[in-house]
Amino acid sequence: MSQVKTNIKRNKPTLVMHQKHNLTGWFFLLPAVALIVLMNFLPMFKALILSFKTGTGNRLTWAGLYNYTRMFQDTVFMQALKNNFIYLIIQVPIMLVLALVLATMLNDPKLRCKGLFRTAIFLPCATSLVSYAVIFRSLFAVDGFVNTVLIKLGILDTGYNFLAAPNSARAIIIIALIWRWTGYNMIFYLSGLQNIEYSLYEAAKIDGANSFEVFWKITVPLLKPIILLTAIMSTNGTLQLFDESMNLTNGGPANATITMSHYIYNMSFKYVPNFGYAAAMSYLILILVAILAFVQMKVGDKRD
């Protein structure tokens, strides 16, 4: 009996120490959790409540689902939604494929000056969002570098106003996005490629596989989790696109290139403030991002 009591006494300090460790861990986590709740979840909850109200300025009244139904009758918002999906469908696949091809080329152990090439391709990602938008705006201006080259080559007689036509203005935004974000995604693929044993490629070449077969049957399947990650991140970023629409085309011509985030900004700060309607549009973006991420996870991740 005394031996049992002795064992209990020996085990008791261990349990107390374990509890102390848990409390210590929660004590260190508490400031971060409090900041996340105050800075993220509380504003999100207030924005959700705000999305069910309507009015201008501080004069808000409860409106139920009015803001959510209004979005689908708002021609400018529907144009912004259409533009976001145009950028998503065209730009994201081109960017990811180009990033994957560049990463594969730069992973070749026989390639010289790999560090220089990697830095050059990644460098656009380090530039300021506003700066690179202004640069592209000047490049495609009527008297800009692109028009000057096209006139010198005899392709154009006079300068073409790329930013004044809807299709060419959207194309410039897509080109700018590809230029800036391809290197960012390439780094993810490059890190994944460096974890693949090079002996797999050597064995495939010995078996007679050509470069395309090696790329399609070895590189792509082994990089599938990273490809899924970059696809979700790129989709998320494209649906929240703001800087390019704001600084490159200012949403023009005639709202032909405006994005949902740009329109939310206009409804909140440029026009007469309608924060309830802006909050509802923000939540629609959240819903779209969640749905597309869920679909991509289901389609892309086949693990049991």
pLDDT value, residue 49: 92
Q: Tens digits of per-residue pLDDT, 5-59?
A: 555 455 545 556 777 777 887 888 888 989 999 998 898 999 899 999 888 767 7
Q: Are residues 28 and 125 in the same domain?
A: no
Q: Is the model's pLDDT at 199 over the cut of 90?
A: no
For residue 195, what is the domain's CATH number? 1.10.3720.10
Q: Are residues 45 and 83 in the same domain?
A: no
Q: Is the model's pLDDT at 129 over the cut of 80?
A: yes
Decide: residue 279, CB within 10 A, 0-12 exposed, 13-18 middle, 19+ buried. Answer: buried
Specify the residue for token string 């289901």: 298
* pLDDT-wise least confident of 84-93, 220-229, 259-268: 220-229
Q: Are residues 156 and 245 in the same domain?
A: yes
pLDDT value, residue 85: 95
Q: Note whether residue 56 is domain-resident.
A: no
Q: Are residues 130 and 44 in the same domain?
A: no
Q: Are residues 230 and 115 in the same domain?
A: yes
Q: Note whether residue 60 is domain-resident.
A: no
Q: Note whether residue 64 is domain-resident.
A: no
pLDDT value, residue 220: 87
pLDDT value, residue 274: 86
Q: Is 185 left (phi over 0), alpha (psi -120 to 50) or beta?
A: alpha
List Cα–Cα distances, 304 to 93, 230, 249, in angstroms: 26, 21, 46
Q: Note whether residue 55 is domain-resident.
A: no
* pLDDT band for position 92 (cuts 50, 70, 90): very high
Q: Note whether residue 213 is domain-resident.
A: yes
Q: Are residues 78 and 192 in the same domain?
A: yes
Q: Tens digits of per-residue pLDDT, 226-266?
A: 999 999 999 999 999 998 899 999 998 889 999 999 999 99
CB 168 within 8 A of CB 255: no
* pLDDT average, residue stretch 83-112: 91
Residue 87's H or E segment, with its range, is: helix 75-106
Domain that holds residue 23: 2-50
Please give the tally of structural domains in the chain: 2
Q: Note whether residue 139 is domain-resident.
A: yes
Most confident by average pLDDT, 47-56, 84-93, 186-195: 84-93
